[in-house]
Structure 1
Amino acid sequence: MTAAAPVTTADDSAPTAAGGPDGSVDDRRVGLAALLPYLRAHRGTLAVVGALSLAGAAASLAQPLLTRSVLDGLSGSRSVGGLVAALVALVLVAAAIGGVRDYLLQRTAEGVVLGTRRRLAGHLLRLPIAEYDRRRTGDLLSRVGSDTTLLRAVVTSGLFEVVTGAVMVLGAGGAMVLLDPVLFGVTLLGVAAGIGIAVAFAHRVRGLARAAQERVGEMTSAVERAISAARTIRAARAERREADAIGVSAARAYAAGLRVARVQAFVGPASSVTIQGAFLLVLGVGGARVAAGAITVGDLVAFIMFLFFLVLPLGQAVHAYTQLQTGLGALQRIEEMLAVPVEGAADRPAPVPARALPGGAPASVEFDRVGFGYPGGPPVLHEVSFTVPAGTRTALVGPSGAGKSTLLALVERFYEVTGGALRIDGVDVRDLPRDALRARIGYVEQSAPVLAGTLRENLLISAPEATEARLRAVLDEVNLGHLAERAPEGLNVQVGEGGVLLSGGERQRLAIARALLAGPPVLLLDEPTSNLDARNEAALRRAIDAVAARRTLLIVAHRLSTVVDADQIVVLDGGRVAATGTHDELTGTSPLYRELATHQLLVS
C-alpha cells in the first residue's frame, strides 16, 4: 500500500480550493497558558533553572552591599581584604551560575523546538487529504520550520528573562528603598515612564509578528511552487516571471518584517534612555544628598549599583516581552494547525473490528448509489452503482473528468462518500478502521510519486520487513530488475528528488512494484500504463495477469488495450455510470465506449 497523497489528476475532477492562504482555522489569540504543555516535559530542568536564577540573583544583589562595606571600610581605614575576596568570589559565582543556567535554557529551548516539530510533523501527516487540497505546501513547511524556531526565543530570551528580571527588580527595588526611600522615589518616576512607553509598543509586536510569519509562509509557498516545476518553467522560458512573482512575495515578507523591526527598534532606545536618564537623575539628586549628609558615598555607590540591577533587568524584560509576543504569534499559527482534526477524528464511534475483512482473500467492492463532491465544489459523482466481484478485474473508462480517479480515492477513504454507500465484502468502509481497510488495499496513483532516497527505501515504505530476495523478485515482476543490476550500489542506488533519475515509465513501474510488494487482496491502479512504451506495457500486463488470480483489481484506464480482457468494464460519463459490460458487449451497446475504442483503433 502506498502512502496517502492527493489524488487529483489531470483526467479527473479537481477539488475546489477553500480557505485562506495561511489555512487559519481559529483567530483567537493564544496566551502563556498555551505554552505550558510545550514546557511540561522539561519541568525538571526548568525547576533547576529557576533555582539557579534565584541563586544568581542573590549573588548579584549581594555585590552592591559588599561594595558599600568595602568603601566604608576604606574610608574608616579598616582592613577590607576579606571583603574584597568575598566580592570577587560572588562575581565569579554569579558568572558561573549564569553560564550553567543559560546552557540549560538553551538545551530546554532546543528540546521544545524538537518536540514541537515532531508533534506538528506527525499531525500534518495525519491530516485529511482534503486539507492538503486547500492549503499551500510552503505555508505548512513554514509552520514546521520558521514558526517552531521562534519558540526557542520564547524560552531562552522570553519567558525566563521576564521571570528572572522580575526577581532582580524586586530584590534591587527593596534594597534601594532601604538605602534611601527618597532617592528610590525619584528613580521610580523616571523608570516607570520609559518602561511604560516601551511596553505599550512591545504589545503590538505579536500581531505584527504573526502577519510577518504568514508572509514568510506565502513566500515559501512561491519558492516551493517554482522549484517543484523547475523543468516546466525552464522549458517555458518563464524564469524571470516566476522570479518576479517570488520577489513580490519576498517584498511582502520584507515589508511585514520591517513593521516588526520598527516597533522593536523603538523598544531598545526607550530602554537605553530609561537607563541613562535614571542614572543621571540619581547621580544628580544623590550627589546633593551626599553633600547634605543624608547618605554616605558608600550608600550612593551601592544605590547606583542597585539602580543598574533594577534598570538593566527591566530593559531586558521589555526586550524579552517583545520576544515573547513574537513567539506567541508563531505559537498561535502552530496551535491553529494542531487544532485541525486529523483523519478519522470524526469517524463513527464503534467501527467494525478489523477481522470483519478476510485476511488475504480477494474482497468484493460494491458501489451503492455513491454520490460525492469535493468541499466547496459541485457534485462529482451521481448515484454510481456497480459491483466488483472478489477475484475479478474491473476497468473504469471514460472521458477526462468523468470521476474515475475519485472512485479509487473513495475506496481508500481519502475522502468520504456524501451519498449512498461503499462496501468491502459487504461492510461499509465507514464502519472499518482506516488502517485495517488500507492494509488490504494497494493503491497506485497516476502521478506515480517516488520518494527522494534509494530504490530500497521506496520499496520498503509499503513492506518494511521485506527481504532482499523479495525486493528483487517484485522488481523483476514489473521489468525493473535492471535498476538494481546496473548500479554498483544495487538496491541502494539513488532515485533522485521525486524520482528524477528515473524515466516516467520506470517511476510508474516502481510505484506498481511498491504496491505489489505489500500483497494486498485489493489492488487499485490509476492509469498504470500511462507512461509505458509498448514493450514495458506488455510486460506490465503480464505482471497484472499474474497477480489478478489472487486479487481483486480495479483499474482506471485511458488505453483501452490494457483492459480489453477485463472481466467487467464500467463506462463513466459526467460522474454517472453510462454502461457496464465486457469489451465485446460494450462495442455493440455503448456509443461512448465504441467512440473511445474507435479513436484508439481497437474497432473499425
Structure 2
Amino acid sequence: MDTQHDAQRPEKPDPAPWRTLLDHARPHRRALLLGALLGLVTGATGLALPLAAKALIENLGRDESIAGPLVVMTALVVANAVIGALGGYLLRRTAESVVLGARRALTSYLLRLRISAMDRSEPGDLMARVTSDTTLLREVTTEALVGFCTGGLTLVATLAMMGWTDPVLLAVTLGVIVLAGTVLGVIVPRINKATKRAQESVGAMGAALERVLGSLRTVKASGAEAREEAAVHRAAEDSWRQSVRAAKWEAVAGNTAGLAIQVAFLTVLAVGGARVATGAIGVGTLVAFLLFVFYLMSPIQQVVGAVMQYQTGSAAVLRIQEAQRLPAEPVAAPAELPGPDEAPLSLAFDQVRFRYADDAPPVHHGVTFRVPARGMTAFVGPSGAGKTTVFSLIERFYDPTDGRIEVDGRPIGDWELPRLRAAIGYVEQDAPVLSGSLRDNLLLGNPAADEDELQRVVRTTRLAPLVERLPEGLDTLVGHRGTKLSGGERQRVAIARALLRRPRLLLLDEATSQLDAVNEAALRDTVAEVARTTTVLVVAHRLSTVTLADRIVVMDAGRVSAVGTHQELVGRDPLYTELATTQFLTAEHPEHPEEAGGPGGRGEQPEPAVPAPVTVRP
C-alpha cells in the first residue's frame, strides 16, 4: 500500500503569533535594530527639549543670555526631524521587505499544496491570504515590533525624567495613565476578535469574486449576473461591517490614550500651579513637566498603536498559519526531463482503491490492470467510471487509500515526485492554457527546448496554420485562460506542450474531443506514431481512436470489467459491445452537415456500429 500522499503532517501546535512575527523579522534584524536605534535617538532629542526650555526660562528669570538655550533647542528640533525621517524611512523599507519575504514563502508553499488540499480550499481566500493578510505584516513590523520597543523605552525614559523633575506630579500623571490602561485592557481583546473576523470576511469576499470571474461566461449565459452580483455584494458588505467594527474599537482605544494625556495635562497644570503658588517648585520646573506630559503622548500612542497593530497582525498571522497547515508536497529540486534514449515506462495497478475524501463515496473498488512499456492503451467506460482518476493517481495528485501502483516495476511512492512527473506528459480533459504568449504555453513544461524542436512539434500538432495567422506568431498573447483560442486550438496546444517534454509515459484525457474530423485524424496518427517509442494512455470516446489501441481497459463503476483488443472485446464483453454500438458511434457522427453528405458534402457514410476488423500492432 502506498504511503498516504494526502496524510496530514504530525500535529503540533502553531507557534504564538509573536514568535511567527519575529521569525519573519529575523532576516532583517540589523535594519530593524538600526531603525529602532534611530527612533530612540529621536526620542532622546525630544526629551532634551523640555530641559532646554527649562534652562531658557530660568535664564530669562535671571536676565541672562538665552542664545545658548535657543541654539540648543533649534539643533534638537532639526535633529529630531532629520533623524526621525531617516529612521521612519528605514523602518518602512524594512517592513516592505518583511512583506515580500512573507509573500514569497507563502506563495512557494501554496504552489506545493497537494491537490486534495486545493479541492477543499477556496482559491480566492488563499489569494487574500497572500495579498491582504501579508500586507498587514507591514504595519506590525514597524509599529508592533519596533514601535513597542522604542515607544516603551522612550516612555520609561520620559517617566524617569518626570520623576527626576518632580515626583509628586509624576504620581498624579501615573494615576491617570493606570486608569486609561485599565480601560484599554478591556478594549484590546475586542479589537483582536473584530480584526480576525474582518480578515476572514475579506477572504470570503475574494472567494465569492473568484467564483464569479472564473465562470463569467457561464454566469452570463445563465442570465445570473444579478444574483451573483448580489452574492458578491453581500460578501463585501459583511467585510465592511467587520472592518467598521474593528475600526470602532481601534478609535475608542486611540481616543482613550489621547484623553488620558489631556486629563493628565490638566491635572498636572492644576496640581503644579498649586505647588508653584506654595513655592514647592518653580515656574520653569512646571513648564518643563508640562512639556514632558505633552511629549508623553507620543510614546503612549506608540505603545497603544503597537498593541492594536499586534492584534491586527496576529489575526493575519493566524490566517497565514492556517494556510501553511494545509497538506503540501515535499520540497524537492526540479528533475531533468528524460533524454531521447530513455526507455518508456511500464505501469501496473494492483487492487487499487481510492476515494477523494473520508466522507466521499469510493471511486475505485480494487482496480487492477497492467500496461507494458511502449504502445497505446485506451481506457473506455461510462461517465463516472473512474478513468480520469486513474491518471490523477499516476501523476500522484492523490494517493490510493489501498492497493499498489507500480511505475517501471517500482512502487510509485518510491519515486521522487519531480522525477516521476518529469517522465510524464499529461494532457488534461479541459486542456487549460495559461495567460501569456503562445510560446510561453508551449514551453511551459520544457523551457529549454530549442527552436527546431519547438517548430517540429508545432507542425506535428497542426498548429502551424494558427501560428501563421496570429499577428505576432508564437509571441502572440492568448488571453486569460486562452480565451483567444478555440477549444480545439487549446487542445492542440496542450498536446504540443506534453510532447515537448519528451515523455516516457504520455497521458491523454479525451485530448481530441474538441477537434474537427480532419485535425482529429491527423493527431490520432501522431499519437499512434508516438506510441511506437513511448507508453501512451488515452481516455477516449471516439471509436476511431479506440480501435488503434494495442489494448483496451474497460472500466465500469470504479472497476475494470475487461481488458483486451477491440476484436477480443466486441461480442465478449457486454459493456464494451454496448459502448461500441452506441456511445462510440454517436461520438463518431460528424458535427457539420456537409461532412455527413449534406449540401456540398462528400457523401461519406457514417461508420457502422461494429466496424470491420482492424490490424492491431503487437
How would you bin the TM-score normalised by the shorter chain?
A: over 0.9
For the pair 1:361 / 2:367, whether they are aligned, the reply is no
- 1:110-125 aligned at under 5 Å gives the runs 110-125=96-111
CA contact (8 A) 1:369 1:385 kept: yes
Mapped to 2, the partners of 1:488 and 1:236 lie a distance apart of: 33
- 1:85-484 aligned at under 5 Å gives the runs 85-344=71-330, 360-376=342-358, 377-484=360-467
Mapped to 2, the partners of 1:574 and 1:439 lie a distance apart of: 31
* 1:173 CA displacement: 0.4
CA contact (8 A) 2:340 2:502 kept: no
CA contact (8 A) 1:139 1:218 kept: yes
CA contact (8 A) 1:439 1:520 kept: yes
Mapped to 1, the partners of 2:14 and 2:239 lie a distance apart of: 23
Q: Tell me which amino acid in the other structure corresponds to 2:241.
A: A
CA contact (8 A) 2:376 2:528 kept: no
Q: Which moved more, 1:489-498 or 1:368-377?
A: 368-377
Q: Tell me which amino acid in the other structure corresponds to 1:582.
A: T
For the pair 1:603 / 2:609, whether they are aligned, the reply is yes
Mapped to 2, the partners of 1:78 and 1:219 lie a distance apart of: 68
CA contact (8 A) 2:528 2:548 kept: no
Question: In the alignment, which residue of structure 2 is the partner of 1:39?
Answer: 25
Mapped to 2, the partners of 1:576 and 1:354 lie a distance apart of: 35
Q: Which moved more, 1:112-121 or 1:262-271?
A: 262-271
Question: In the alignment, which residue of structure 2 is the partner of 1:511?
Answer: 494
Unaligned runs of 5+ in 1: 1-14, 20-24, 348-352
Task: Give the aligned CA root-mean-square deviation in angstroms.
Answer: 2.2
Mapped to 2, the partners of 1:248 and 1:46 lie a distance apart of: 41
Q: Which moved more, 1:498-507 or 1:533-542?
A: 533-542
* 1:27 CA displacement: 8.8
Mapped to 2, the partners of 1:267 and 1:419 lie a distance apart of: 57
Q: 1:407 to 1:149 in 2, by over 3 A?
A: same
* 1:200 CA displacement: 2.6
Q: Tell me which amino acid in the other structure corresponds to 2:573.
A: S
- What's the secondary structure of 1:528's corresponding residue? coil
* 1:32 CA displacement: 1.2
Q: In the TM superposition, what whole-angstrom CA distance separates every residue of 1:222-262 from its partner, at most 9, and x where no partner exists?
A: 10010111111111110000001111211221222122122
Q: Tell me which amino acid in the other structure corresponds to 1:150.
A: L
Q: Tell me which amino acid in the other structure corresponds to 2:263.
A: G
Q: Tell me which amino acid in the other structure corresponds to 2:353.
A: G
CA contact (8 A) 2:258 2:297 kept: no
For the pair 1:591 / 2:571, whether they are aligned, the reply is no
Q: 1:496 to 1:274 in 2, by over 3 A?
A: same
* 1:358 CA displacement: 11
Percent of residue pairs identical:
47
* 1:356 CA displacement: 13
Mapped to 2, the partners of 1:214 and 1:507 lie a distance apart of: 36
* 1:335 CA displacement: 1.6
Q: In the TM superposition, what whole-angstrom CA distance separates every residue of 1:346-368 from its partner, at most 9, and x where no partner exists?
A: x9xxxxx9999996211111111
CA contact (8 A) 2:427 2:507 kept: yes
CA contact (8 A) 2:192 2:312 kept: yes
For the pair 1:498 / 2:504, whether they are aligned, the reply is no
* 1:30 CA displacement: 2.9
Mapped to 2, the partners of 1:354 and 1:284 lie a distance apart of: 80
Q: 1:26 to 1:497 in 2, by over 3 A?
A: farther
- What's the secondary structure of 2:562's corresponding residue? strand
Q: In the TM superposition, what whole-angstrom CA distance separates every residue of 1:506-562 from its partner, at most 9, and x where no partner exists?
A: 111101100000101110010011111111111211221221111100111122321
Mapped to 2, the partners of 1:206 and 1:496 lie a distance apart of: 42
Mapped to 1, the partners of 2:74 and 2:185 lie a distance apart of: 35
Mapped to 2, the partners of 1:549 and 1:43 lie a distance apart of: 60
- What's the secondary structure of 2:571's corresponding residue? helix
Corresponding pairs, count:
577
- What's the secondary structure of 1:380's corresponding residue? strand
Q: In the TM superposition, what whole-angstrom CA distance separates every residue of 1:305-351 from its partner, at most 9, and x where no partner exists?
A: 11122233212321221111101110111122223342148x9xxxx
CA contact (8 A) 2:261 2:296 kept: no
Q: Tell me which amino acid in the other structure corresponds to 2:531.
A: A
Mapped to 2, the partners of 1:212 and 1:28 lie a distance apart of: 21
CA contact (8 A) 1:504 1:531 kept: yes
* 1:432 CA displacement: 1.1
* 1:142 CA displacement: 0.6
CA contact (8 A) 2:349 2:404 kept: yes
Q: Tell me which amino acid in the other structure corresponds to 1:530.
A: S
Q: In the TM superposition, what whole-angstrom CA distance separates every residue of 1:384-432 from its partner, at most 9, and x where no partner exists?
A: 1111111111000000100000001111111112211111111111111
Q: Which moved more, 1:102-111 or 1:462-471?
A: 462-471
Mapped to 2, the partners of 1:93 and 1:202 lie a distance apart of: 35
CA contact (8 A) 1:213 1:330 kept: yes
* 1:29 CA displacement: 7.8
- What's the secondary structure of 2:609's corresponding residue? coil
For the pair 1:75 / 2:58, whether they are aligned, the reply is no
Q: 1:308 to 1:207 in 2, by over 3 A?
A: same
Question: In the alignment, which residue of structure 2 is the partner of 1:11?
Answer: none
- Structure number with greater CO (CA < 8 Å, separation at least 6) is 1
Q: 1:430 to 1:516 in 2, by over 3 A?
A: same
Under a length normalisation based on structure 1, what TM-score does the superposition of the two structures give? 0.92
Question: In the alignment, which residue of structure 2 is the partner of 1:546?
Answer: 529
Mapped to 2, the partners of 1:326 and 1:245 lie a distance apart of: 27
Mapped to 2, the partners of 1:437 and 1:28 lie a distance apart of: 32
CA contact (8 A) 2:109 2:328 kept: yes
Under a length normalisation based on structure 2, what TM-score does the superposition of the two structures give? 0.90
CA contact (8 A) 1:357 1:425 kept: no
Mapped to 2, the partners of 1:31 and 1:496 lie a distance apart of: 41
- What's the secondary structure of 1:420's corresponding residue? strand
* 1:116 CA displacement: 0.6
- What's the secondary structure of 1:524's corresponding residue? strand
Mapped to 2, the partners of 1:53 and 1:87 lie a distance apart of: 19
* 1:372 CA displacement: 1.1
Q: In the TM superposition, what whole-angstrom CA distance separates every residue of 1:129-152 from its partner, at most 9, and x where no partner exists?
A: 100111011111010010000100
